[in-house]
Structure 1
Amino acid sequence: MATDSTDHPDLFDEFPPVSTREWEEKIKTDLNGADYREKLRWHTGEGIDPLPFYRREDLEKRTQSIPRPNSADRRWEIRSPIASPTIKEANRSMREALRGGSEALFITSKLRSAHSDEVFSGYGIPLQTASDFMRLFEEIPLDRTSIHFDTGLLSPAFLSMLRLRQKDSAPGSSYQDLRGSLMFDPFAGGLLRGSLLSHPEIRDRIFPLASFCHEHMPGVRPLAIDARIYHNSGATIIQELGFALGVATEYLVMLTENGYSPDEIAGMIHFNVATGSSYFLEIAKIRALRLLWSNLIGAFDGDPETSPAYIHAETSRWNKTVYEPHANLLRATTEGMSAVLAGCDALTVHPFDEPFREPGHFSQRMARNAQIIMREEAYLGKVRDPAAGSYYIEKLSQEMGRKSWQLFQEIEQRGGMHKAIDSEFVQSSVASSQHERDRAVARRKRIFVGTNQYPNPDEEQADELSQSAPSFTLEQSDQNWPPGESRTVDHLAAFLERGATLGDVASLLLSGSDKNVALLRPYRGARAFEELRRATENHPTTPKVLNLPVGDPKMRKARSSFSKNFFGCAGYDINDPIAFDTISKAAKAIGRDQPDIAVLCSSNKEYRKLVPALCKQLGEGDHPRLLAVAGYPEEDVEAYRKAGVDLFIHSESNVLETLKEVQQKLGIINSV
């Protein structure tokens, strides 16, 4: 019979510890003497440039640990976005989402812009009146379903309609039973509209919401820190966190001055972030946000343990593409995993086809099921803080927190977030990072598979595009707001109950001493490449590209593939033969096929013979509209241009600008 023994040798004795110095010496050897801190440093473009590895000693100097996620069982809330173009379809989608496993609904119906002083445009669900709101929530059990309103500056009206809906509901129902939130962030709203309310008027807007929810609907968080706008406008992670902290501070200052404690305020606000495709950075971002909030509320004499940050994450819109849209499924899934592993409290995964059409049953189901699989099959909710203890992620989280706090301090030195927006510090900061990000996309340093890298040449999308969030006009009635009446939730509810429309309320809510400020414009990073490709699809004829692989087999194959990938981004018809034995045969192929663009693909060394020979053999009638060389033989570029080469394509090319020039020369788009 076997017996247990405690005399087993330590299995790790066979593996003596390796010092950091030894690791670094090994890396230096592998890099042929180069400094890995320069050679392997990751320049993320997110305001932080991490090293390839960290060790325990890198964390020994930290003075504060990252707070753990709120819930011990880690059952984050699964939200489904609802933005259907009709109330009937929206109600159907809501009921379907709840039957399919969603625990919460994320309702979008918000202002797009003001066309004039009296006419407002909205997008999302086209609600106009309180009766529309009642129809939207038919057969929706509000006592068992969290409802979150992505309604921006119209949020006070939606809270008022929610009050009316609950007042008219079945006996026994209570305001206390409601759970949800309002995406009311007057700072983000001002940046989107280009019109910022004065500081006192912002206070006058947020106080009625805070007081009503605190007294009547404690389960509803009325005040949002909407950091999604910064992410989707091209901001770095450091900016996203720093600006979010700036808005949170504005709320804390305003509401503590009105008698609320920091811990009470913590129950009224919620952070909303977009998670991008940089997997480890996004995990670190949400963890850093918890650390930043802990420090901030502690500075206001609140209790970080009992008043943690409530964080809702949603998948990024910035990195989603129209071409190869099913790649959006992969992007959204990994983004959702980042948020869950980081410890978000709620998660919204957007449907993969949202960028170019109204999401259908399949895409909505896939978005919903991604979360269900994470929880029920991958068991990502079984560990409270799975990223804790990872030297790499811990170091990233601490460094993000440090740099974001520095930006936050700069904002405070400027007078707070309101003055930072008013002086356009926020907008200029985002514009700078957006420029760098767009430049990286144009040069393919940031990759969108299927769009600016590895395009599918047979894919066409121009005929399938529709507006995913169509606009509608907010109607206005002849109802007049009683003179001198305050904009409380009860008074707004009475106004809507008398027949006022959302257009009437919008005019009321947006009136005041606002100031025009520079806009932030959320966009998709792949948009510029997609516009080029759609221009090709809409052109009567598709440009033809003929690759001319000649000479060294290795170089001709590599450069032919590069050319195919390069011009495929514009949707051209590419003929990519295996090889030509001689330059004469390549010239004859040009005469036979009559391509718009011919691309010579060989080695720099062989170009010295091939380029002059090809240019000499091409007669006027056989010369393509554009003759290109794959590569950049720097010493010979000018000589090749004189010989007749129009274009050089290479790894350092600005692909977007080069393709724009080609489109102009081929008459597909107009020159500027």
Structure 2
Amino acid sequence: MRLAADFPSTTRDDWRALALGVLRKSGVESDSPEAALGTDTYDGVRIAPLYDAGDLPELRAPRAPHRGWDVRQRHAVPDNEAVLADLESGVTSLWLAVPVEDLARTLDGVHLDLAPVVLEAGERTAEAADVLLGLGASVRGNLGAGLGGDAVELALRCAAEHPGLRAIVVDGLPYHDAGGSDAQELGCSLAVGVAHLRALTAAGLPVEAALGQLEFRYAATADQFATIAKLRAARLLWARVAEVCGGQGVQLQHAVTSSAMMTARDPYVNMLRTTLACFAAGVGGADAVTVLPFDAAVGAPDAFARRIARNTQVLLLEESGVGRVADPAGGSWYVERRTADLAARAWAWFQEIEAAGGVQDAGELVTARIAQTRARRDDDVAHRRFPITGVSEFPDPRERPLRPSPARSEGARSGGVRYARPYEELRDLADAQPERPRVFLATIGPVAAHTARASFAANLFHAGGLETVSSGPSTDPEEIARAFTDCGAAVACLCSTDKLYGEHATAVAQALRRAGARRIWLAGKGSHEGVDATLYAGCDALDVLRTTFDDLGVVR
């Protein structure tokens, strides 16, 4: 059956001609719609506006050898009741970062032959492993060892005595949390994995057995196609490493929703972010998924947040059936191309690390390269090219932030980059003032003329926790100046159309200056006498906010 049999055939050239026509009508002068409409990721992977069968790469990612995934909940507070509640309500494995002294108590009543346990104990991994192994011979999961320390000894012990247990986690989260790109996270994880293989095989473990001791952990973000491509590329790359080493290892993947994308402000939006990330992790083929609770940026989660986190996964698995299809994105021209391009960038980065002596000797190189990516993303966040809903875009100025109790401050995942933090720090500062700092919006002309730019300006100032007060529709400079004086602000922003700016901006700015305005902004572009600076789509919003705080006398 040919589904397109009744439609006329088209070619890429047909599309290009139509796209160019639309672009030119929009004022975009270009001979290439691909160049005009395409974008680049932080890794330099080109995202084209159109894909066809000619974009399929020769080498494709291997499919995940399973359907569905393991619902893995993280616990950093020793709470046996919470652990049992999770396991009784859809969670199938545990990720424990509790103190070693509390490990046995936390696992009291847990059937370790049914619920795998993954440890996160840092320098005390060997102690935690002894406690866990002392709880039963049929323990499954991962001891969570990293490079160095007791990783080799634990791996040899697992390989010999505990066939259902792995010893080592190759953790890509620190590279993601530091601000790294997808290719940087993948390349660094490959380098760490290879370093483990060298150590394990040097200790006498066969290649296949060494491969079987590793589990990889990656970040899943709300950019669903980026996450799908990353997990698929990771399997492709690790299959290549295993092949070169003389083995056939299938990468075991644990995807964790990104802590960098989480917000402390408007935290309920995090439910949407983590749902998208979880969906992408499942479609990308993750073996286990951890959904961080929506309030993870505030502190350790409460019972409601944990329930929503686990039910996000249960809904996707049971109601939506996301796990019923193996590699549902496989064969997509776009996904296959993006996977291959990302894998190529990650492999090149891995080779750079290896040429520098391996991950243990390339620390300065890795730090410097990730810092470059972080700086680019920070610039995008500041200019709102990287929008953060509820924080840099559409903030709620009436929001009351969640405040963590002392008990909830224990065990929260922290220490890395959070994209929303610069805006949230300003909002915290505004909240801490005796009276909320205020900006006056001089709305020139009728409502229809000033609404768009007044809304834009208010949204920008609200992102820093600033209150905005409007003058109401008027073109009378003195009337606007009186409204400015009455509201008690020290900073004003003109809002109207370009035409009305030409007629009234200078006079209104002069009246506001006489009334004591320390700085006068204009929403839009253009130069007008008396106006100090402009704010517009694509401007440095953080710089506008920080400048306004300084003008208002708020100490940062």
Q: TM-score, structure 2 length as denominator?
A: 0.94
The corresponding residue for 1:571 is 465
Return the letter of the residue paired with 1:279.
Q
Change (3 A) 1:294 1:126: closer
Question: In the TM superposition, what is the alpha-carbon distance from 1:298 to its structure 2 partner?
Answer: 0.3
- Cα pair 2:446 2:474 within 8 Å, conserved: no
Matched, 1:180 2:66: no
Q: What SS does the corresponding residue of 1:78 show, helix, strand or coil? A: strand
Question: In the TM superposition, what is the alpha-carbon distance from 1:596 to its structure 2 partner?
Answer: 2.9
Return the letter of the residue paired with 1:584.
E
Q: Aligned match of 1:663 in 532, 545, 549?
A: 549
- Cα pair 1:552 1:603 within 8 Å, conserved: no
Change (3 A) 1:164 1:609: same
Q: What SS does the corresponding residue of 1:355 show, helix, strand or coil? A: coil
Question: In the TM superposition, what is the alpha-carbon distance from 1:412 to its structure 2 partner?
Answer: 1.5
The corresponding residue for 2:520 is 627
- Cα pair 2:446 2:473 within 8 Å, conserved: no
Question: In the TM superposition, what is the alpha-carbon distance from 1:533 to its structure 2 partner?
Answer: 0.5
The corresponding residue for 1:593 is 487
Change (3 A) 1:412 1:555: farther
Change (3 A) 1:45 1:281: same
Question: In the TM superposition, what is the alpha-carbon distance from 1:619 to its structure 2 partner?
Answer: 6.8
Take 2:42 and 2:458, find their aligned partners in 1: how far apart are those partners? Answer: 28
Question: In the TM superposition, what is the alpha-carbon distance from 1:626 to its structure 2 partner?
Answer: 3.2
Could you report, residue by residue, the CA deviation over 1:609-637 in whole angstroms, capped at 9, with x for unpaired residues? 423212333474x323432221221xx25
Q: CA RMSD in A?
A: 2.1
The corresponding residue for 1:537 is 431
Q: What SS does the corresponding residue of 2:418 show, helix, strand or coil? A: coil
Percent identity for Structure 1 against Structure 2: 29
Q: Aligned match of 2:297 in 348, 352, 355?
A: 355
The corresponding residue for 1:434 is 374
Matched, 1:227 2:188: no
- Cα pair 1:462 1:537 within 8 Å, conserved: no
- Cα pair 1:551 1:581 within 8 Å, conserved: yes
Q: What SS does the corresponding residue of 1:449 show, helix, strand or coil? A: coil
Take 2:519 and 2:405, find their aligned partners in 1: how far apart are those partners? Answer: 31
Matched, 1:55 2:25: no
Could you report, residue by residue, the CA deviation over 1:51-91 in whole angstroms, capped at 9, with x for unpaired residues? 122110111xx3322101021xx12100111122xx3xx11
Take 1:548 and 1:161, find their aligned partners in 2: how far apart are those partners? Answer: 67
The corresponding residue for 2:277 is 335
The corresponding residue for 1:68 is 63
Take 1:229 and 1:412, find their aligned partners in 2: how far apart are those partners? Answer: 19
Change (3 A) 1:163 1:435: same
The corresponding residue for 2:42 is 45
Matched, 1:282 2:227: yes
Take 2:8 and 2:523, find their aligned partners in 1: how far apart are those partners? Answer: 51
Matched, 1:455 2:400: no
Return the letter of the residue paired with 1:523.
V
Deviates more, 1:406-415 or 1:589-598: 589-598
Q: What SS does the corresponding residue of 1:574 show, helix, strand or coil? A: strand
Return the letter of the residue paired with 1:631.
G
- Cα pair 2:170 2:192 within 8 Å, conserved: yes
Matched, 1:613 2:507: yes
The corresponding residue for 1:119 is none
- Cα pair 1:358 1:466 within 8 Å, conserved: no
The corresponding residue for 1:486 is none
Matched, 1:161 2:128: no
Take 2:551 and 2:386, find their aligned partners in 1: how far apart are those partners? Answer: 27
User: Which of the two has higher C-alpha Rg?
Assistant: 1
The corresponding residue for 1:271 is 216
- Cα pair 1:226 1:273 within 8 Å, conserved: yes
- Cα pair 1:47 1:238 within 8 Å, conserved: no
Take 1:468 and 1:656, find their aligned partners in 2: how far apart are those partners? Answer: 30
- Cα pair 2:385 2:538 within 8 Å, conserved: no
Return the letter of the residue paired with 1:181.
N
Return the letter of the residue paired with 1:214.
A
Q: What SS does the corresponding residue of 2:361 show, helix, strand or coil? A: helix
Matched, 1:145 2:115: yes
The corresponding residue for 1:372 is 314
Question: In the TM superposition, what is the alpha-carbon distance from 1:654 to its structure 2 partner?
Answer: 1.2
Take 1:371 and 1:569, find their aligned partners in 2: how far apart are those partners? Answer: 31
Take 1:136 and 1:126, find their aligned partners in 2: how far apart are those partners? Answer: 10
Change (3 A) 1:10 1:239: closer
- Cα pair 2:522 2:535 within 8 Å, conserved: yes
Q: What are structure 2's unaligned runs of at least 5 residues?
A: none
Question: In the TM superposition, what is the alpha-carbon distance from 1:665 to its structure 2 partner?
Answer: 2.5
Matched, 1:17 2:9: yes
- Cα pair 2:299 2:411 within 8 Å, conserved: no
Take 1:11 and 1:328, find their aligned partners in 2: how far apart are those partners? Answer: 39
Q: TM-score, structure 1 length as denominator?
A: 0.78
Question: In the TM superposition, what is the alpha-carbon distance from 1:566 to its structure 2 partner?
Answer: 0.9
Could you report, residue by residue, the CA deviation over 1:582-621 in whole angstroms, capped at 9, with x for unpaired residues? 333222211332323221112334324423212333474x
- Cα pair 1:182 1:222 within 8 Å, conserved: yes
Q: What SS does the corresponding residue of 1:274 show, helix, strand or coil? A: strand
Take 1:78 and 1:257, find their aligned partners in 2: how far apart are those partners? Answer: 35
- Cα pair 2:453 2:495 within 8 Å, conserved: yes
Question: In the TM superposition, what is the alpha-carbon distance from 1:581 to its structure 2 partner?
Answer: 4.4
Return the letter of the residue paired with 1:659.
L
The number of residues matched between the two structures is 550
- Cα pair 1:153 1:185 within 8 Å, conserved: no
Q: What are structure 1's unaligned runs of at least 5 residues?
A: 1-8, 109-124, 167-174, 187-201, 473-519
The corresponding residue for 2:82 is 93
Could you report, residue by residue, the CA deviation over 1:371-390 in whole angstroms, capped at 9, with x for unpaired residues? 00001000011111100111
Indicate the structure whose relative CO is greater, using CA pairs within 8 Å and at least 6 residues apart: 1
Question: Superposed, which structure 2 residues align to 1:100-249 within 5 Å?
Answer: 100-108=89-97, 125-127=98-100, 129=101, 132-166=102-136, 175=137, 177-186=138-147, 202=148, 205-249=150-194
Take 1:592 and 1:452, find their aligned partners in 2: how far apart are those partners? Answer: 29
Could you report, residue by residue, the CA deviation over 1:254-276 in whole angstroms, capped at 9, with x for unpaired residues? 22222222211121001100111
Take 1:655 and 1:367, find their aligned partners in 2: how far apart are those partners? Answer: 32
Question: Superposed, which structure 2 residues align to 1:500-519 within 5 Å?
Answer: none
